[in-house]
Amino acid sequence: MTLTIALAKGRTTTQVLPLLTAAGIDCQALSTKSRRLIFTENPDYHFILVKAADVLTYLNRGTVDIGIVGSDVLEEQGHQQFDMLDLKTGRCRFILASTPDFDPQKTKRKLIATKYPHLAQRYFQNQGEDVEIIKIEGSVELAPLTGMADAIVDITETGTTLRENNLKIFATLTPVSTHLVVNRLALKQKKPAIYQLIQSLQQVRPQEA
């Protein structure tokens, strides 16, 4: 039985390939630098490489059985899939950041720039705050620096981008890591193969909390 897997391109793939290899899955073809997007040479596991934001589209339509993607994406768009395993890699965190002179108490209806509008809206709603969200596609740090927004909700890992742009963290929201998610129907139809994969990845993922 073949399992089809959508892997988020970029950082996620780079960090997950060593785990898949350690779990005994031949995915050598994916580690070569190329523009290929679909890998079907392994009869047990077929892979497609997609933009992180598209993983759940392939999964929810049933085009793939499994998605491997950051929990940032799941928090922003997830609803129909089963989140089966935290791979404990690709770790970073959501933060609220701005220029050092930003005063969260003083700014009345904040303008918040982010790549994650739903997550940001939820965060402020839970704080009982009404904010205006500006959806940005990248280099989010520019928004408070240029005065377009009061603050940003984004992910940070090393903190280098914030530091180099003289931005300060005002709140830490939720932690982020790469997760394995499963299509509902696939979980019914391919249960043994899916559980076997989960079990092998559980054994090789980083063990710390």
Ligand X SMILES: Nc1ncnc2c1ncn2[C@@H]1O[C@H](COP(=O)(O)OP(=O)(O)OP(=O)(O)O)[C@@H](O)[C@H]1O
> For binding to ligand PRP (CB under 6 A), which residues are involved?
138-141, 154-161
Binding to ligand X (CB under 6 A) within 63-102 occurs at 70, 72-73, 90, 92
Question: Residue 121 CB: number of other CB atoms within 10 A?
Answer: 17
Q: How far apart are CA 38 and CA 23, in angstroms?
A: 20
Residue 189 corresponds to which tokens in the numbers above?
């139809």
Q: How far apart are CA 87 and CA 177, in angstroms?
A: 7
Determine contact, residues 176/71, Cβ cutoff 8 Å: yes
| Residues 130-169, mask of contacts with ligand X (x by CB under 6 A) | --------x----------------x-x------------
End-to-end CA distance of the chain: 33
10 binds ligand X (CB under 6 A): yes
With CB cut-offs between 5 and 8 Å by kind, which of ligand X, ligand PRP, none does residue 51 bind?
ligand X
**Closer by beta carbon to ligand PRP, 85 or else 167:** 167
Residue 165 corresponds to which tokens in the numbers above?
């742009």
Q: Which residues bind ligand X (CB under 6 A)?
A: 10-12, 51-52, 70, 72-73, 90, 92, 138, 155, 157, 176
